[in-house]
Structure 1
Amino acid sequence: MPGSDDKLKGGMEGSPKTIPMTSPLYLHPSDNPSFNVTQIIFDGNNYDIWAEAVKNGLDAKNKLAFIEGNVKKPESDEEEDSIELVAWRQCNAMLRAWLQNVIDPELHLSITFTQSIEDIWNELRERYSAGNPPRVHQLKGELNEYKQGRDSVVEYYTRLKVILDELANYSKIKNCTYGAAASIAKEREE
């Protein structure tokens, strides 16, 4: 059917159709299930740092759209194994493997039977995202109790910056039209 395969590239008439390299459905020949999308392993306590690292790795592989929900499973039509459906299944399986590679094995069972990478991502975010009042309270307590002690100035500053950056991540400061945002940013930096 002319025009029905606009997303697909094909050579001559009758040649196999392929997924374009710019599509999130494209898997590079070097992509494999043992790939580590980040070096940070999620252990149940470091969700926010891990999630940012995973999103960065998936963005580099043009797969971020899967966890953001922008690449949906193609609807089945009379052709059960359409090229898009097969490509989506392969990418979904690959991304599930990539996530399992960067999650502590003790947590695998909680996601093993969830089929969609988007569902897995949303489930992990709902369960572990620290963007909630108890985590904010915990961070403020850590900030209040943290002392330099035997740490070097660099180590002390780095730890404080990590806590402050995570707290800033949960800040719900609204956009300001009166120029106060610049002074708030300056104050935060100081």
Structure 2
Amino acid sequence: MTTHEQNNSININSNAQMSFNQTQNHGSVFYILPSNHSTLKLVTVPFDRTEFADWKKPIVTRLVSKNKMLFVDGSMPKPDNYLPDFKAWERCNNIVIGWIMTSLERSVAKSVIYFNTATDVWSNLGDRFGQSSSTQLYHIQDDLASLTQYGISIADYYTKAKALWNELDNVDSLSICCCNGCKCDTTKINLKQLQNRRITYFLIKLDDHFSQIETNILMRES
């Protein structure tokens, strides 16, 4: 064996050892539990082209808990194939793709089957299904308009209202100021106004026997 061939062999073995070491380090993004096989389901109900935001939230939570969100949000790009961590990245990327695919209804999964990175799969799903829907927005606003306490506990009434507010935030996000060094407090002002509107609406939909409490709070807030 020539000196050049020996050096190449040493480099390959060294890279393989470095890659292996990273996969065994529990703190590494490349570490995968033995139970986290590629057919693991991150959610119980596969995404079927409806309610993308409701499907996405638990997926993100599970990926973050497994230290793998970096493989879908673009924070961990594909390394060159001669680098030590390429094999470890490739293994994690393929496993994360498997997790996403098993969390999709079959026809949706088939539509992203030819993407080679988890980032591309994730971006494609977001581009196609993550856009705000005017129909969905109408239904949420209609549900909020018809929501009243109507004999249930205040806690249950608030839970229903909060769920609808969360849905509304997913499809109609708050305007945020993006100015460099901005001091106009636009985001803070918008958030305060939104909270005030929701508090007011929540109070006026309470049952009649809370009318005095409602009046007192609204007067204090005004």
TM-score, length basis structure 2: 0.64
1:168 matches 2:169: yes
Report Cα offsets for 1:127-182 as digits up to 9, x if no partner: 111424453234334444x567xx96677765543332111232223366386443
Instruction: Provide the C-alpha distance between the structure 2 equivalents of 1:24 and 1:109, rounded to a whole number of angstroms.
Output: 28
Corresponding residue to 1:39 among 33, 36, 44:
44
Structure with greater Cα Rg: 2
Aligned length: 172
Report Cα offsets for 1:20-70 as digits up to 9, x if no partner: 332222222232123222334212102101111100000000001111100
Match of 1:55 in 2: 60
Instruction: Provide the C-alpha distance between the structure 2 equivalents of 1:83 and 1:75, rounded to a whole number of angstroms.
Output: 9
Instruction: Provide the C-alpha distance between the structure 2 equivalents of 1:117 and 1:172, rounded to a whole number of angstroms.
Output: 28
More helix by share: 2
Counterpart of 2:192, as a letter, is A
Instruction: Provide the C-alpha distance between the structure 2 equivalents of 1:86 and 1:26, rounded to a whole number of angstroms.
Output: 12
Corresponding residue to 1:67 among 72, 75, 87:
72
What is the SS of the residue equivalent to 1:124?
helix
Instruction: Provide the C-alpha distance between the structure 2 equivalents of 1:186 and 1:147, rounded to a whole number of angstroms.
Output: 17
Corresponding residue to 1:184 among 185, 189, 194:
194
Match of 1:90 in 2: 91
What is the SS of the residue equivalent to 2:32?
coil
Instruction: Calculate the aligned-residue CA RMSD, in Å.
Output: 3.1
Uncovered stretches (5+) of structure 1, i.e. residues with no partner: 1-12
Structure 1 residues 171 and 36: alpha-carbon distance in aligned structure 2, compared to 1, 3 A threshold: same
Match of 1:106 in 2: 107
Structure 1 residues 119 and 91: alpha-carbon distance in aligned structure 2, compared to 1, 3 A threshold: same
Q: Give percent identity, aligned residues only.
A: 21
Match of 1:125 in 2: 126
Structure 1 residues 46 and 184: alpha-carbon distance in aligned structure 2, compared to 1, 3 A threshold: closer
Counterpart of 2:175, as a letter, is I
Q: Which has the higher contact order (CA 8 A, sep 6+)?
A: 1
